Amino acid sequence: MPSLHGLLDTAISHGRLTVTDAKGRTRSYGGKAPGPEVGIRFTTPSVARKIFLNPELKAGEAYMDGELVMTEGSIHDLMRLFFANKRQFDLSPSQIFWRGVARGFKRFQQNNALARARGHVQAHYDIGEEIYRLFLDADMQYSCAYFPDGTETLEQAQTLKKRHIAAKLRIADGQRILDIGCGWGGLGLYLAHLADIEVVGVTLSERQLAVARRRAEILGVSDRVTFELIDYREVQGKFDRIVSVGMLEHVGVHYLKPYFLTVRDRLAPDGVALIHSISSKAPPGVTGPFLRKHIFPGGYAPSLSEAVSAIELSGLWVLDCEIWRVHYGHTLRHWRERFAANRERAAEAMDERFCRMWELYLSMCECAFMQGAANVFQIQLGRERDAVPLTRDYIAQEEARIAERERDFLDRVVASAAQALDR
């Protein structure tokens, strides 16, 4: 009879996994090629069968529930082992079956109609700022940072990300900016200090909204930086620049066309939009079951082909497309290490089960970028083909100019996050 033993024996070649069942019996798998050496123990007799029937979801839930505990190495080591052998796991009959089920229910799982979108966002982003403060940078940037060398601190890399985006947008006096999915307001406030502009940030998270508004008040820019609790589909008016960082993953593949039509309709004739999103080098797929159920309900990182197909139907020009490969892997490593360093505080704020879920989430995503197919794209869009210069030379020039300008305001903008959160 097929069993977890057979699955592990077939799938694991890189590294070694030692499994101790609930009766104390031990078996080892792999060792044919270099890789992490990990040990786990099952605390209940039924967990092995549950994992065999649905490995990707049930192994994660077993760890969350204490039915799978680490005896050698860490949960991050276990994730590294899984990703080192992921191709073979993906070929197992159970994984093929559940992936087929997920594809069949893709439209339902990614139903982000207006009535459901707010609930999906609040399920993740409104769990409390205290958790996010434990692992994010001081500006509360909850998206991929920019690591040109890979040696930057998290704070440096997040500043470089904002600077890079601002350079591509070519921020100038008199512009009106729309920030779709504004988070805790850091990017919008950063842009507002580069020039005399108006910024409108929109979010569906009530808690993020409150913090962003307090930050604008602290910095004295509430007259030209406003944050609203509305869906991107409800925004009215025209904007010279549109920026959206880490929001496209919450749209859903069946809403990509309406999303880019909205960007087109809100963009001024000579305007520029910059869309930053998680993606993959692989063809269109589905969100992993653990992330879909426990972390990002309704979430899906579109493939580049899905995004570009929707853009083509909008009539917008793709002015530039940049692929960030391991940048998010470095970002997640920093987040994972910071969360681990503050784990006791996280358990006090939430509970032990949440901590296990969160460390698994951060580790799983880090491995997806460092060992798997995940990446990030930045697509620059315009209604006119000449909305930006014809070569990328201007980006470095703009970054140098912005770096000089940052000296006058960066510390104050970043500090406003802590002041707003402490109120």
How does pLDDT run across 96-146, given as a tens digit for each residue? Answer: 775 776 666 666 666 666 767 777 777 788 788 899 999 999 999 999 999
pLDDT of residue 95: 74
Give the DSSP H or E segment for 43.
Answer: none
Averaged pLDDT for residues 198-216: 96
Averaged pLDDT for residues 382-389: 97
Quick check: is 365 catalytic? yes
Q: Which of 117, 114, 38 is nearest to 77 (CA)?
A: 38
How confident is the model over 149-169, as pLDDT tens digits?
999 999 999 999 999 999 999
Predicted TM-score (pTM) of the model is 0.94
Averaged pLDDT for residues 48-58: 91
| Listed range (20-29, 82-91, 317-326, 351-360) with the worst mean pLDDT | 82-91
Q: Kindly name the residue from 182, 355, 365, 367 that is annotated as catalytic.
A: 365
How far is the CA of 399 from the CAs of 13, 107, 272, 300, in angstroms? 46, 41, 17, 31
How confident is the model over 248-298, as pLDDT tens digits?
999 998 999 999 999 999 999 999 999 999 999 999 988 888 999 999 988
Does residue 413 register a pLDDT over 60? yes
Locate the domains of the chain by residue range: 4-104, 114-422
Give the DSSP H or E segment for 308.
Answer: helix 304-314
Does residue 197 register a pLDDT over 60? yes
Averaged pLDDT for residues 201-206: 95
Q: Binning pLDDT at 50, 70 and 90, where does residue 405 land?
A: very high
Q: State which amino acid sits at residue 361.
A: Y
Q: How far apart are CA 244 and CA 232, in angstroms?
A: 10
pLDDT of residue 1: 35
Averaged pLDDT for residues 76-96: 87
Averaged pLDDT for residues 191-205: 97
Averaged pLDDT for residues 194-211: 96
3-class SS at 171? coil
Domain 114-422 carries which CATH code? 3.40.50.150
Angle CA(128)–CA(158)–CA(168) in degrees, nearest 5? 120
Which of the pair, 88 or 241, is modelled with greater confidence?
241
Averaged pLDDT for residues 40-54: 94
pLDDT of residue 108: 61
* Mean per-residue pLDDT of the chain: 93
Averaged pLDDT for residues 370-382: 97
Q: How far apart are CA 306 and CA 244, in angstroms?
A: 17
pLDDT of residue 69: 98
